[in-house]
Amino acid sequence: MERQRHQGMAKNTSMRWRLPLVCLLWELAMIVLFGVFVRFSPEADAHWEEERRELNLTSDIENDFYFRYPSFQDVHVMIFVGFGFLMTFLKRYGFGAVGFNFLLAAFGIQWALLMQGWFHSFKNGKILIGVENLINADFCVGSVCIAFGAILGKTSPIQLLVLTLFQVTLFSVNEYILLNLLHVKDAGGSMTIHTFGAYFGLTVTRILYRPNLEQSKDKQASVYHSDLFAMIGTLYLWMYWPSFNSAISDHGDAQHRAAINTYCSLAACVLSTMAFSSMLQKKGKLDMVHIQNATLAGGVAVGTSAEMMLTPYGSLIVGFLSGIVSTVGYVYLTPFLESRLHIQDTCGIHNLHAMPGLIGGIVGAITAAAATEDVYGKEGFIKAFDFTGVYRARTPSVQGGFQAAGIMVSLLMAFVGGALVGAILKLPVWGDAAAENCFEDDVYWEVPEDEESDAYHMHSPDKPASP
């Protein structure tokens, strides 16, 4: 208690007026912007009956809602429970992990509906939203959740909201460049979500480098139950990833195929992760950090190619390799990044999202470049890559080149954007905690009394329990 008060003097972390002000003003801005711009898409509008007749659809079941809503809900769970609980592994930052993730995602999806809407669903001055927009908004926010993983425990909720505002904006610009200008395929977001989100977050955390972070090193670890909470997050991400990668693919075979490829890739990834986790520890013991994270790399790494004819064995290979890369990253790269490059990456997003995201982009480029009419069928070929209109003459190898360009653009946007946003977050007005208070819920949350005393007891076993 005494310690807390002392630190309070050192750095003002009170959110009392700053956080409410930001939340309320920004939400009011959302209301105004939604009022001006956002309406229902024809499939969610009460005029649908007429629309349906016009489109010559025989049944309500052909409403896009029934193609995508189950996947949407799975993605929704990944964003809020998946990311939220994955980050509860820290012993004293569970409230912040789940709670701040909740806050930034709830704000982010609104802003993403607008930003992505202006770019992709703008018609006669209005943004028309349907279930696909909800999925895309969740996707966009996913990239913010990833970046959050790098700075987990070291930022104030206001900083996270500022981060979200800018990152969603940049995400949407980057996505527009990739999907519309480069005509790149990236349904599961290896480039737009993972590569961009991870390198953006890593750049931000580099700028926010805290030299004295070892002061809170004891808190930057897990306890037995917090590791189990984190496994809830891991498993929901792992199980629902096939929905993630297939959610916005074309109706029919593309959604079907994307789910199968992702399922295969993730299964293989678990085995190579377990293998390397055990191999790289002296006594061969498994490390929960790897199981919680590297097992998911397989989903990231087929994000671009899952809807393509990657084939089940191709997926196994990709998943297998990305599990290895990710686990090795946790053991060797993370310490190196921290000590040499001053990149303090709390959750190791470099291993889970950055490297597998790059793999995903590359695999996507190769798979696209290798596409043939024989493998896809004449119609399937055109449909899979949208080789229509101005793109009807594009060849697979050219498409592969554009896919590779998409990786580069995403990286560039991440580095430049991250540096910019990092600089903004460095301003001393956002109420972030001192180094010795990082990874500690007590700074921004009312924490129940008795467990805290218990926790203090746990951390200082040398202190006698009774005087």
Q: By CB under 8 A, tell whether 159 contacts its own copies.
A: no
Q: Determine the interface stretch with its own copies among 215-223, 328-336, 343-351, 398-406 (rule: CB under 8 A).
A: 215-223
Token digits of residue 183? 């005509």
Nearest to its own copies of 173, 239 (CB atom) = 239
Question: Per rule CB under 8 A, is residue 109 in the interface with its own copies?
Answer: yes
Toward its own copies, which CB reaches closer, 103 or 419?
103
Site for its own copies in 344-383 (CB under 8 A): 375-377, 379-381, 383
DSSP of 218-276, one letter per residue?
A: GGSS--HHHHHHHHHHHHHHHHHHHHHHHTTSPTTHHHHHHHHHHHHHHHHHHHHHHHH
What whole-number distance in Å separates Cα of residue 78 and Cα of residue 234? 9
Tell me: does residue 272 bind its own copies (CB under 8 A).
Answer: yes
CB 307 within 8 A of CB 384: yes
Interface with its own copies includes 67 (CB under 8 A)? Answer: yes
- Contact segment (CB under 8 A) with its own copies among 41-49, 348-356, 405-413, 414-422 equals 41-49
For residue 290, give Cα distances in angstroms to 79, 287, 451: 20, 6, 28
The answer to the question of residue 440 lying near its own copies (CB under 8 A) is no
Contacts (Cβ under 8 Å, ≥6 apart) of 378: none
Among 118, 222, 338, 401, binds its own copies (CB under 8 A): 222
Q: Does 286 bind its own copies (CB under 8 A)?
A: yes
**In this chain, which of 176, 210, 232, 434 binds its own copies, going by CB under 8 A?**
232
CA 288, CA 94: separation in Å to the nearest integer? 17
Should residue 23 be labelled a site residue for its own copies when binding is judged by CB under 8 A?
Answer: yes
Choosing from 86, 115, 129, 347, the residue that interacts with its own copies (CB under 8 A) is 129
Rule CB under 8 A: choose which of 3, 10, 54, 60 binds its own copies: 60
Task: Looking at residues 377 to 406 of the shown chain, list those that interact with its own copies (rule: CB under 8 A).
Answer: 377, 379-381, 383-384
Judge contact between 360 and 194, C-beta under 8 A.
yes
DSSP 376-389: H-HHHHHHHHT--G
Query: Would you say 232 and 87 are in contact if contact means Cβ atoms under 8 Å apart?
Result: no
SS3 (DSSP) at 452:
helix
Q: Is 413 in the site for its own copies (CB under 8 A)?
A: no
Contact flag: residue 434 with its own copies (CB under 8 A): no
# residues near its own copies by CB under 8 A? 155
For residue 251, give the amino acid letter. Answer: H
CB of 184 to its own copies, least distance (A): 18
